[in-house]
Amino acid sequence: MTGKHRKTLLLTGAWIAGALVAAATHAQEISPQELQHVIDAQNRRIEIVKKISAPTIAVFGPAGGGGGSGVIVTPDGYALTNYHVTKPCGDYMRCGMNDGKLYDAVIVGIDPTGDLALIKLLGRDDFPTADLGDSDLLEPGQWCIVAGNPFLLANDFKPTITYGIISGTHRYQYPSGTLLEYADCIQTDASVNPGNSGGPLFNSDGQLVGINGRCSFEKRGRVNVGVGYAISINQIKKFYGYLKSGRIVDHATLGATVGTDDEGRVVVTDILESSDVYRRGLRYDDEIISLGGKPVRSANEFKNILGTYPRGWQIPISFRSAGERRDELVRLAGVHSREELVSMIQAPAPELEVPGEEEQEEQGDDEEKKIPQLLPPGAKPKVKYPHDVAKQIVPRRGYANFFFNQSNVDRIWQKATGLRDLSEKTGEWIVSGKRTKRLENRNTATPFELILRNDEAFADWPETGYRINLDSDLDLELGPDAVEGLALSISLWRRLLVFGPKNYGEVFFLGTAPADGSGSHENQDDVLVATHDATESLFHFDQKTGELLRMEMFPTVNTDPCELIFSEYRNGLPQRISVRKGQTVLAELLDISVGLNGPAGAN
C-alpha cells in the first residue's frame, strides 16, 4: 500500500513538472520586450514587498506566547492589530520587526466589536510606517498583498508575503458570538492563515487598505480556504482617534432598525422614541435615503455603513417622511451600554485576561471564525513589566489603558491653557454682550449680562432674567429661557476654564470626532467629556490651534443638548457664541466681553 502511495505521489510530481514544462515551452514565445516587462514588474514588486515588510510586525504576548500580526502607522510606534490578537496578551506585548529586533509594546485602545486594537511600540520615534490607502477605491479583481506571520513561521520576524486579488468589497459579516461584527469589510483570496490575524492587507501600490482578521472556515480545518476578510482602512480611520484615547470603544447604532419592503425601499421597521434620530423626525415606515453621505439601497448597505461608525459621532442622514425629504444630522448611540461593554471585556475587577480556552469556546459552530490564536491554551502570562513599559500602563476599569486617556487630556489642556490660562480667575465673571435670535437681526440685538460665580449665576437676558443655583440638582436649573439650560451651559463652560479637567468633575478624552458632523474622518476635533452632577458636556477642541470650538451640554440623558459654538476668539476668549438645539440656531450672543476676577477680595 505504501508503495502504491509513493507511486501516486511520484506520478503527481511528474505531472506537475510536465505541466510546467508545457507552459515553459509556451513562455519561450514571449518577446524580449514582454520579458523585460515581466522583469520590471517583478523588480517593482520586490520593492513594494520591501516597503511593506518594514512596518509589518509580529505580535506576541509578554512571555512569548500568543501570536498574530500587526502594522505600524506612525513613526512614534502606534500600530494596528486585531483585538483578538491582543486579548490574550493583556496590556503588554512584544513585537518583532523585519530587522529582527523585538520591541516592547503596550495596549492603547480596543474596539472589541470591530475586532480592532491599537498598540504602541516603545523605544523609537522613527519607526517605519505604512502609507494609508483609500479602501473605498478597491474593486474586485484588483491585486493585493498580505504581510504577516502565518503559522508563526518567521523566527527572525521577517513577514511572510502572500498575494491575491480582492474577491469582494463592502461585505457584511454577522457577529459570531456576542460582540464581533465585520461591517463593510474586504474579501480576498490571498492566503490568510492562523497568525495572519491583525496583519496588513495592502493594495498593489503597497498602501495599507485593511487589517486581516477573519476567514471562512468550515469543514476544511483552520487553514486558508481562499476566503479572508479584512477590516477596511476607511473604517479604521474613523475609529483611530477613538482608539488613541485608551478607551474600550463602542460601535454605533441609530436607534432604529430597517428592512426592505416590497418595492425594494429601505424602511424603518422599528424605532426608539428616546433616540436622537426620533427627535430629528424619523418615524416608523419612513424610507432611509442615505446615511453618512452614502446611498442606502438595501438593509445590508445600511448595516455596512452604520457598522463603520464609532459611538457618539454625528453624521448626516437623509430620509423621506410623509412624502417629504429631510436631511438631518444624527448623533449615534452606542451598540452597548457602557457598563455592558466593559463587563463583557473586563471581569468585575480589572485583571489580566487569561488567553486561550475562552476564545476557542466562544467561536462555537459559526461558519465564519476569527483566525485562531496559535497559543498554548491556559498559558497564563506572568507579567513582569520593564520600567519603561510600566510607566505607560495604567489599568482602570472601563479603559484599555488609562495612561493614554490621561496623557491626552493633559495634552489638550496644555494646548488650551497655552492660549490663555484662566485657572486664577476663580472670582466673579461678568459676561456681557448682545443677544438676538438670528444673525441677520444683529442690528436689533439687545444687550445682556451674565454674572457667573462658582456656586450660582445671574442671567439678565433681553426678555427674561433668572438665577440658577449651581450647588443644586443641575437638571432642575435650566431656567425660564427660550433656550433651556443656556445659563447653565455657560456656567459649566466657565467651570472647565477655571477648574480645569482635574477639578471639574470626571473628565475623560473621548477621542476625535468630526468637527462638522459630516461623518467624514477628515477634519476631526479632540473631544473631552466632562460630567458634573447630572450633566454631561462634550467639549470640542481644534486639534491644531487648541481652541475650544464647541460645547454640547446634556442636562439629562435622551435629550437634545444645549449646544454652544464659540468663535471670533480674541485674547483666548470668544466674542461670539452661537446657541443651537437640534439643528436650529436659537440664539446668537454677539460682541461678548468677559470681565474676569480672581478670588473674591483679591481683584
The binding site for other proteins (CB under 8 A) comprises 1, 4-5, 7-8, 15-24, 26-27, 30, 33-34, 37-42, 44-45, 139-143, 163-171, 187, 189, 204, 216, 218-220, 224-227, 264, 297-298, 300, 367
Q: Which residues pair with 310 in a beta bridge?
A: 251
Closer residue to other proteins in complex, CB, 126/139: 139
Instruction: Name the 3-class secondary structure at 194.
Output: coil
Q: Nearest 5°: CA angle at 179, between 390 and 265?
A: 140
Helices (H), 337-385: 338-345, 357-363
Pick 120 or 171: Cβ nearer other proteins:
171
Distance CA 504, CA 486 (A): 19
The residue among 290 and 407 lying less far from other proteins, judged by its C-beta, is 290
Nine-digit cell string for 541: 477642541
Q: Where are the alpha helices (DSSP H) in 462-545?
A: 486-504
Would you say 22 or 390 has its CB closer to other proteins?
Answer: 22
Round the CA-based radius of gyration of the chain to a whole number and report it. Answer: 28
Pick the catalytic residue from 53, 69, 84, 275.
84
- Cell numbers describing residue 46: 520586490
Name the residue among 466, 385, 441, 511 with its Cα closest to residue 111.
511
Amino acid at 46: I
In the complex, minimum distance from the CB of residue 444 to other proteins, in angstroms, rounded to a whole number: 55
Minimum CB separation from other proteins for residue 226, in Å? 3
Residue closer to other proteins, measured from CB, 41 or 439: 41
Q: Of these residues, 91, 111, 115, 481, which one is catalytic?
A: 115
Nearer to other proteins, 299 or 529 (CB): 299
DSSP letters of 208-224? EEEEEEEEE-STT-SS-
- Cα distance between residue 260 and residue 282, in whole Å: 16
CB of 34 to other proteins, least distance (A): 7
How far apart CA 344 and CA 250 sit, in angstroms, is 12
Q: How far is the CB of 289 from other proteins (least distance, A)?
A: 17
Residue 398 half-sphere exposure, CB side, CA atoms within 13 Å?
Answer: 7
The single residue listed with the C-alpha cell 427627535 is: 279
| Closest distance of CB 110 from other proteins, Å | 27
Q: Transcribe 35-87 into DSSP letters.
A: HHHHHHHHHHHHHHHHHHHTTEEEEE-TTS---EEEEE-STT-EEEE-HHHHG
Report angle CA 138, 141, 142 to the nearest 5 degrees: 50
Instruction: With H, G, I as helix, E, B as strand and everything else as coil, classify residue 576.
Output: strand
177, 189 contact by CB (below 8 A): no
Are 313 and 332 in contact by the 8 Å Cβ rule? The answer is: yes
Cell of 123: 523605544
Terminal Cα distance for the chain, rounded: 101
For other proteins, give the closer residue by CB, 39 or 390: 39
Closer residue to other proteins (CB): 1 or 349 = 1
Whole-number minimum distance, CB 260 to other proteins, in Å? 8
Nearer Cβ to other proteins, position 30 or 347? 30
Distance of closest approach, residue 72 Cβ to other proteins, in angstroms: 25
DSSP category for residue 360: H
Q: How far is the CB of 338 from other proteins (least distance, A)?
A: 33
Identified catalytic residue from 167, 191, 197, 489: 197
Query: Of 11 and 344, which has the nearer Cβ to other proteins?
Result: 11
CA contacts within 13 A on the Cβ side of 210: 36
Q: Mind giving me the DSSP string for 322-346? A: TTEEEEEEEEPEESS-HHHHHHHHS
d(CA 257, CA 276): 14
CA distance 56 to 79: 9
User: Rounded to an integer, what distance in angstroms lies between the CA atom of residue 108 and that of residue 402?
Assistant: 8
Q: Minimum distance between the CB of residue 410 and other proteins, rounded to whole angstroms?
A: 46
Return the number of the residue (19 or 390) whose C-beta is nearest other proteins: 19
Q: Distance between CA 437 and CA 448 in Å, rounded?
A: 13
Which residues touch 556 (CB under 8 Å, ≥6 apart)? 475, 534
CB-CB contact of 175 with 198 (8 Å):
no
Residue 257 CB, nearest approach to other proteins (Å): 18
CB of 194 to other proteins, least distance (A): 16
The reply to whether 115 belongs to the active site is yes
The set of residues, in sequence order, having a beta carbon less than 8 Å from that of 356 and lying 6+ positions away, is 88, 373, 375, 376, 377, 378, 379
- List, by residue number, the catalytic residues: 84, 115, 197
